């Protein structure tokens, strides 16, 4: 298990540091401070368990915290639009700033953004690298302070350089440099009339008197400043609770992003496979439906060919049985033998020509008349010869021919 360590870079030049371990920060005495050399010497004496879990706080003088209006809720699109949105909001040279966009907006179209001086960020990271340290967080100190309630501003003065941090809302605010002539309340009294919308209340976390020129209609409250132990507790709690924007991607976050990308890749591949399976199933179903339609069409054609006098097909099996019963009752001795003889010959001829079909079947005057069509006239002729040779009936060709490439023949079958 590694040790936790906090480092507060207190000046713009990134040469003055303040550091502490959360486990040893209960004392109210002034904590460890110094330059990078002093920080390295302290580490050597502290015998820290590595890798150290390091969180770095940057002063407000090198950070800007603001809400940027970008339509939508998708971070990818917001990242693309961020440079153009910042041009209208930031007077500084954007090439000198390192922007950090929140993972999600506070509400649709309201994106928290942290801007860090790129040169200061690089110097801090290089100095940490020289000491074998990789920070987990690189955040603005103001982002770790308790966020003000709606309609209120909160004002803090850092305990080292006495820079003034004005928190105007979640992830937004401004920084004021210390002035020997005016304290934080007096400076803010000059700013408030120019701010819209103005707050209803301003809470100072430093013991100050209300200035004489304090704007009317804005409540003024002040309380004692935190001691060192309280500062440490505030910073540590805020880092965990406020979703402070970090100007560095930690190793854990990189690993999480890699796993997330892998899971997305797996999910995407599974989605493609599922879509292909559904498409294949749809094609198979469509093919089966097409085959069923073809079969139904063939059944309908054969039904009407067998029973031309029946105009409506309701139940094929029942209607055919009724027709057979009627035929058997009226002409039992002639119809059934003739039909059986034709059926036997038709089964023999069907494999020879897939286009062989029954166009109509009629029975009258003790004779079964069958009209056939086929692609090959020779198959019709073979069927006729088979009937003449094997059927116990008087078989004769009524007519035959080929029209438009389709062979046809009518055969009369009269049972003996």
Helix, coil or strand: residue 16: coil
Q: Scanning the structure block, which residue is given the tokens 């100095």?
A: 127
User: Which of these, 231, 205, 179, lies nearest to 26 by C-alpha position?
Assistant: 231
**101 near 79, Cβ under 8 Å?**
yes
CA distance linking residue 263 with residue 260, whole number of Å: 5
pLDDT in tens, the chain (416 residues): 678 899 999 999 999 999 998 876 555 456 789 999 999 999 988 888 878 899 999 999 899 999 999 999 999 999 999 999 998 888 778 889 999 999 999 999 999 999 999 999 999 999 999 999 999 999 999 999 999 999 999 999 999 888 999 999 988 998 998 989 999 999 999 999 988 889 999 999 999 999 999 999 999 999 999 999 899 999 999 988 988 999 997 444 444 444 455 555 555 555 666 666 676 777 777 777 776 677 677 667 766 666 666 667 666 666 666 666 665 554 455 777 888 888 888 988 999 998 999 988 888 888 889 999 999 999 999 999 999 998 888 899 999 998 888 999 999 998 77
Smallest CA-to-CA distance from 411 within 346, 330, 355, 351 is with 346
Q: What is the bridge-based pairing of β-strands 406-415 and 367-374?
A: antiparallel
**Which token pair is 65?**
């915290």
* Whole-angstrom distance, CA of residue 374 vs CA of residue 353: 7
Distance, C-alpha 247 to centroid of its chain: 26
Evaluate whether 22 touches 70 at the Cβ level (below 8 Å).
no
Mapping DSSP to helix (H, G, I), strand (E, B) and coil, where does residue 42 land? helix
Question: What are the start-end ranges of the H helices in 1-101?
Answer: 36-46, 75-87
- Confidence at residue 295, expressed as pLDDT on a 0 to 100 scale: 66
- The two tokens of residue 340 are 């059986």
Q: Show Cβ contacts of residue 130 under 8 Å, excluding neighbours closer than 6 positions.
A: 36
Q: Distance between CA atoms of 306 and 324, rounded to whole angstroms? A: 10
Q: Provide DSSP, 278-320.
A: HHHHHHHHHHHHHHHHHHHHHHHHHHHHH-TT----S-HHHHH
Bridge partner list, 403: 406
Q: What is the C-alpha radius of gyration for the chain, rounded to an integer number of angstroms?
A: 46
Strands, sheet with 97-101, edge to edge from the N-terminal-most edge strand: 63-69, 110-117, 97-101
* 242 contact partners, CB below 8 Å, separation of at least 6: 143, 144, 145, 147, 170
Helices and strands (DSSP H and E) totals, the chain? 8, 17
pLDDT at residue 164 in the model: 93
123 Cβ neighbours under 8 A, 6+ residues apart: 14
């Amino acid at each position: 298990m590694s040790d936790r360590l906090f480092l507060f870079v207190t000046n713009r030049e990134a040469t003055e540091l303040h550091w502490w371990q959360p486990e040893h920060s209960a004392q109210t005495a002034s904590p460890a401070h110094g330059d990078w050399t002093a920080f390295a010497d302290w580490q050597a004496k502290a015998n820290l368990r590595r890798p150290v879990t390091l969180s770095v706080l940057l002063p407000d003088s090198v950070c800007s915290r603001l809400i940027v209006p970008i339509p939508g809720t998708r971070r990818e699109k917001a990242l693309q639009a961020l440079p153009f949105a910042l041009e209208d909001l930031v007077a500084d040279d954007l090439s000198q700033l390192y922007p950090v966009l929140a993972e999600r907006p506070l509400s649709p179209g309201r994106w928290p953004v942290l801007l860090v001086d790129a040169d200061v960020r690089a110097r801090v990271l290089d100095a940490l690298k020289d000491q074998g340290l990789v920070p987990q967080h690189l955040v603005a100190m103001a982002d770790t302070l308790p966020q003000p309630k709606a309609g209120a501003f909160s004002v803090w003065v850092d305990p080292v350089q006495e820079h003034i941090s004005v928190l105007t809302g979640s992830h937004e605010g401004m920084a004021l440099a210390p002035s020997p002539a005016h304290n934080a309340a007096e400076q803010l009294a000059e700013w408030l009339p120019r701010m819209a919308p103005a707050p209803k209340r301003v809470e100072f976390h430093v013991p100050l008197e209300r200035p004489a020129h304090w704007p009317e209609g804005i409540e003024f409250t002040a309380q004692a400043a935190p001691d060192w132990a309280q500062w440490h507790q505030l910073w540590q709690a805020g880092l965990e609770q406020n979703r402070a924007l970090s100007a560095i991607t930690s190793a854990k976050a990189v690993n999480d992003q890699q796993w997330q990308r892998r899971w997305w890749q797996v999910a995407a591949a599974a989605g493609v496979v599922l879509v292909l399976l559904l498409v294949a199933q749809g094609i198979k179903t469509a093919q089966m439906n097409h085959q069923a339609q073809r079969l139904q069409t063939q059944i309908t054609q054969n039904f009407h060919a067998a029973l031309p006098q029946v105009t409506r097909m309701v139940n094929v099996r029942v209607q055919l049985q009724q027709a057979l019963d009627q035929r058997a009752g009226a002409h039992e001795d002639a119809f059934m033998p003739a039909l059986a003889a034709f059926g036997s010959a038709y089964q023999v001829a069907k494999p020879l020509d897939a286009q062989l079909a029954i166009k109509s079947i009629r029975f009258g005057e003790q004779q079964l008349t069958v009209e056939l069509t086929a692609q090959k006239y020779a198959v019709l002729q073979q069927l006729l010869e088979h009937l003449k040779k094997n059927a116990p009936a008087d078989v004769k060709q009524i007519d035959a021919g080929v029209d438009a490439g389709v062979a046809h023949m009518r055969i009369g079958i009269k049972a003996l």
